Amino acid sequence: MNLRRYLTVAFLSASLIGLELVWTRIFSAEFYYTFSFLILSLAIMGLGMGSLFVRLFRKLSNIKFVSSYIALAAIFALISPVIIFKLNLNFATLFTEFKTVLKFLLSIVLLSSSFFFGGMSLAIIFKTNSKDIPRLYMVDLVGAGLCVAVTIILMNVAGTQSATFLISLPLIAAAFLASGKKYLSAIPVLLFIFLIGKADSLVESGRQERAPVMYKHWDAMAKIKLYDYGETYRGLNIDNIANSGVVAFDGNFDNPDLQGWDIDVKNLIDRFDGCTFLSLGAGGGMDVLQALVYGATEVHAVEVNPHINKMLTKGDISGYIIPDSIENKEEFEIITCNDFTGNLYNDPRVKVVSEDARTYIRRFENKFDVIYSLSSNTWAALGSGSFA
């Protein structure tokens, strides 16, 4: 009996912390970065209100209700993201349209519901088993701690959209393990089966894209899209806000078409003999190409997102989208970014670094002649008017 109780607490805590992480990643990318703080606040509020609710309404604090409460937490964990994306929130009209205010308030209720019912469940279990609090608190921390790592792995391996639903599995298991009648426990199981296969279409905002999207990848670090602008240019988009160009290159550094960029680094590089160039936030590699064209002898392409560097060094064929207009999809040739850029990142003069650029630069003293960053903006910078 104790093992069932411990597993119930561990699974419940695991899913609740996992929901925080996945929802933070999803909504900060699809809406605004401030959703990260909103999710955290709603999680704390929901857990606290759930515990308080049990204290104020004693009839609801019976241990026989715990299974149903956990099942309700799982149900809201599964349906809340789907409903919020269906609401099609437009934050530009939040202070001008009453309809948007109602949608936003509904979103707050939905996002806090899983934590509310989770808080009720934990409060009842802790209250009923007060003499066993040290062990219950231990499994609570262990379950939550382990799920932090598991959630990141899920987002990186299965994708963030699928992880949105997969993270509810411990909640579903806890509903069957918990004390009480299992009237509602089957509902989240059915919901999970129905939703998991449609994760890619359900967990994403419908938006007008600037060009055809030829590639998608969404992991714990960022949501990446690749726009197809034609045979000579692609656009790399990160979290629907940051953009970086990917230029077609055939390996000929003497091509006159590669001279005279809109924002040109030639004057900077020409000041040094054997320039050591660092691209801070290298993105799609435009700065790296410029530096090599203008004669830099050593180029450090520093990008915090390792998957972007993987796209430009090894390629990633799995994320490319074959257009519906192509009838024979098996014969369609996919040109990955590393081939599109002439394997520029595999040039012996280029050192590809997946790390925070500031941390990387601090390890060197007077190493770089040019440290170059082009429009490294974030939502926080844009919101405050601080432009790079």
Read off the CATH number of the domain in which 160 is found.
1.20.1250
**What does DSSP say about strands 276-280 and 298-303: parallel, antiparallel, or unpaired?**
parallel
Q: How many domains does the chain have?
A: 2
Q: Do residue 163 and residue 274 come from a single domain?
A: no
Task: Determine the pLDDT at residue 1.
Answer: 59
Residue 379 host element (H or E): helix 379-384
- Asked if the structure places residue 208 within a domain, the reply is no
CA separation for the pair 281, 277 (Å, rounded): 13
- Asked if the structure places residue 91 within a domain, the reply is yes
Domain boundary (168, 202, 236) is at 202
Domain boundary (150, 178, 202) is at 202
CA separation for the pair 388, 381 (Å, rounded): 8
pLDDT in tens, 81-98: 999 999 988 877 878 889
φ/ψ of residue 354, rounded to 5: -105, 90
- Asked if the structure places residue 248 within a domain, the reply is yes
Q: Indicate the pTM of the whole model.
A: 0.86
- Asked if the structure places residue 120 within a domain, the reply is yes
Three state DSSP letters for 175-238: HHHCCCCCCCCHHHHHHHHHHHCCHHHHCCCCCCCCCCEEEEEECCCCEEEEEECCCCEEEEEE
Q: Do residue 278 and residue 299 come from a single domain?
A: yes
Q: Do residue 134 and residue 230 come from a single domain?
A: no
Q: Do residue 194 and residue 227 come from a single domain?
A: no
φ/ψ of residue 273, rounded to 5: -90, 115
**Residue 247 DSSP SS3:** strand
Q: Output the domain CATH number for residue 313.
A: 3.40.50.150
Domain boundary (202, 223, 247) is at 202
Angle between helix 98-128 and 133-157 (nearest 10): 140
The CA-atom distances, in angstroms, between 202 and each of 215, 261, 350 are 18, 40, 40
- Asked if the structure places residue 265 within a domain, the reply is yes
Domain with 368, as residue range(s), is 213-384
CA 360 to chain centre: 23
Q: Do residue 116 and residue 139 come from a single domain?
A: yes
CA separation for the pair 178, 181 (Å, rounded): 9
**Residue 84 DSSP SS3:** helix
Q: Do residue 327 and residue 255 come from a single domain?
A: yes
- For 8-17, give one letter per residue: b (16+ CB within 10 A) or e: bbbbbbbbbb
CA separation for the pair 355, 282 (Å, rounded): 11
Q: Which two tokens stand for residue 314?
A: 């090894």
Q: Do residue 157 and residue 275 come from a single domain?
A: no
Q: Do residue 265 and residue 152 come from a single domain?
A: no
- Asked if the structure places residue 110 within a domain, the reply is yes
Residue 353 host element (H or E): strand 350-354
Q: Do residue 166 and residue 63 come from a single domain?
A: yes
Task: Determine the pLDDT at residue 381.
Answer: 58
CA separation for the pair 209, 193 (Å, rounded): 30
Q: Do residue 314 and residue 198 come from a single domain?
A: no
- Asked if the structure places residue 370 within a domain, the reply is yes
Q: Do residue 231 and residue 136 come from a single domain?
A: no
CA separation for the pair 216, 225 (Å, rounded): 5
CA separation for the pair 337, 340 (Å, rounded): 5
Closest CA to 115 of 59, 39, 189, 190: 39
Residue 278 host element (H or E): strand 276-280
CA separation for the pair 375, 362 (Å, rounded): 21
- Asked if the structure places residue 207 within a domain, the reply is no
Q: Do residue 12 and residue 132 come from a single domain?
A: yes
Task: Determine the pLDDT at residue 82.
Answer: 95
pLDDT string in tens for the chain (388-residue length): 588 899 999 999 999 999 999 999 998 888 877 778 889 999 999 999 999 999 999 888 888 999 999 999 999 999 999 999 999 888 778 788 899 899 999 999 999 999 999 999 999 999 998 888 999 999 999 999 999 999 999 999 999 999 999 999 999 999 999 877 888 899 999 999 999 999 999 998 888 888 999 999 999 999 999 999 988 999 999 988 888 999 999 989 888 888 888 788 888 898 998 899 999 989 899 999 999 999 999 999 999 999 999 999 998 888 888 876 666 767 678 899 999 999 999 999 999 999 998 899 999 888 899 998 876 655 555 555 555 5
- For 262-296, give one letter per residue: b (16+ CB within 10 A) or e: eeebeebbeeeeebbbbbbbbbbbbbbbbbbbbeb
